[in-house]
Structure 1
Amino acid sequence: MTFEGRPNRDAEVVLVGRSNVGKSTLMRELTGHDVSTGKKPGVTRRPNHFDWAPQSFMFTDLPGFGFMTGVEEEKREAIKTDVVRYVEENADSIVAGVLVVDGKAVIDIIDRHSDADEIPHDVELFGFLQDVDVAPVVAVNKMDKVDDRDERLDELCDRLGLYPPWQQWSGEGGTIAPITAKKGSIEPLKEALRGHFREAKRDDLLQFVK
């Protein structure tokens, strides 16, 4: 069943990605609101909306996909289907889709699932956002745990079909944003979102990414 109860807002930024990559922690940093977080994958099972009615805008933290302890595969696939459907149905209102990945683990995870008959979830979701004309921003989280920063980000660009170096995809309105949400270090993501807000002619939303 598709997620229900979406507030009626005409501008939205969604956070998507695998379970346990830090989406809920990032949402807290973006909104200033505490949300359910935990080390156990799959804590977020329904969308978390944080909206501002006067500006008709909201951030939405969508449930994580992939492995979840104690959740059968059928349920995991149903959640992923609902996430995809949510983005598809609301694409016209979504100013940016933030794909959150674990900077330390993302390359190994993508390569592990890169068989001939399988597209890794992260790569698939990045392409999906492009296909539905939602501007993708990759928030590469937990960068404080990454030693070979530039090499790792260049490899991620390569896996996503973006030509390295990663720096050409960063900055205002950019695609790659290395962050550490747990430490409140999310300025690269805010910078990317500011550019997308301006492109959408929604300068009124810049106040939410100061």
Structure 2
Amino acid sequence: MTFEGRPDRDAEVVLVGRSNVGKSTLMRELTGHDFTTGKKPGVTRQPNHFDWSSEDFTFTDLPGFGFMSGVDEDRQEAIKTDVVRYVEANAPHILAGVLVVDGKSAVDIIDRHEERGNVPHDVEMFSFLREVDVPAVVAVNKMDKVDDRDERLNELCDRLGLYPPWQQWSDTIAPVTAKRGSIDPLLEALRGHFREAKRDDLLKFVS
């Protein structure tokens, strides 16, 4: 079952990522609007869109993918497939794809998958966004729980194929703490991509 009901908008920012990394909280900070989501991972199967009726723009929070406790593998795979298809189908309209990861656990999760000979979901999604020419921004969330900040961010860059130090990737790596409303690096990165797309008219939504 593929996603339905996308608003008719010419410009879009999508949020993608594993379950329980804080995408909905980040969406709330970006839009000022609360989105009710299921407490169990995998319950939300459709995107949450927040669009302004007078503006040709929408933020879209896509369902979380990857391992989910109590959700069978077929359903997990179906969710990821739907997310990929959505991004691919709408790539020409997407100004930025925000990959949300948990700053404390992302590197460890990536390493575990690679040790098993699997392509980690986060690495795969980051590469996919770039393949379909969607500017990728990694919102490294929950940074308030990370002690070795620079080391962790440099390790994440390395896993994503970006040369450290992370500070040189300000348009791609955005350390945030959505729960505390600390998302300025993400807003700055999005402003840069909006300007590159010559959509200064939409800068007010990431100010």
- Structure 1 length-normalised TM: 0.95
- Bigger Cα displacement from structure 2, 52-61 vs 130-139: 52-61
1:58-103 per-position Cα deviation (integer Å, ceiling 9, x unaligned): 0000000012222111111000000000000000000000000000
> Which residue of the partner structure matches residue 153 of structure 2?
153
Q: CA deviation at 1:2?
A: 1.2
Identify the residue that residue 88 of structure 1 maps to in structure 2.
Answer: 88
Q: Structure 1 67/48 Cα, relative in aligned 2: closer, same or farther at 3 Å?
A: same
Show the counterpart of 1:197: 194
Structure 1 window deviating more from structure 2 (5-14 vs 40-49): it is 40-49
- Report the Cα offset of residue 122 of structure 1: 0.2
Kept in 2: contact 1:55–1:204 (CA 8 A): no
SS state of the match for residue 150, structure 1? helix
Q: Confirm or deny that 1:180 pairs with 2:174.
A: no
User: 1:120-167 CA distances to partner (integer Å, 9 max, x unpaired)?
Assistant: 000000000000000000000000000000000000000000000000
Whether the 8 Å contact between 1:177 and 1:188 is mirrored in structure 2 is: yes
* SS of equivalent residue, structure 1 residue 114: helix
Consecutive unaligned residues in structure 2, runs of 5 or more: none
Q: Which amino acid aligns with 2:203?
A: L
User: How far off its partner does 1:53 sit?
Assistant: 2.9
Distance 2:23 2:40 in 1: 13
Query: d(CA) in 1 for partners of 2:57 and 2:153?
Result: 31
- After TM superposition, the score normalised by the length of structure 2 is 0.97
Corresponding residue for 1:137?
137
1:135–1:81 Cα change, 3 Å: same
Task: Say if 2:51 is the partner of 1:54.
Answer: no
Amino acid in the other structure paired with 1:71: V
Cα distance in 2 for residues equivalent to 1:157 and 1:39: 31
User: Residues 1-210 of structure 1: matches in 2 within 5 Å?
Assistant: 1-37=1-37, 40-115=40-115, 117-170=117-170, 174-210=171-207
Contact 2:38-2:44 within 8 A present in 1 as well: no
Q: Which 10-residue stretch deviates more, 77-86 or 32-41?
A: 32-41
Q: CA deviation at 1:54?
A: 2.4
User: Which moves more between the two structures, 65-74 or 187-196?
Assistant: 65-74
The root-mean-square deviation of aligned C-alpha atoms, in Å, is 1.2
Give the Å deviation of 1:43.
4.5
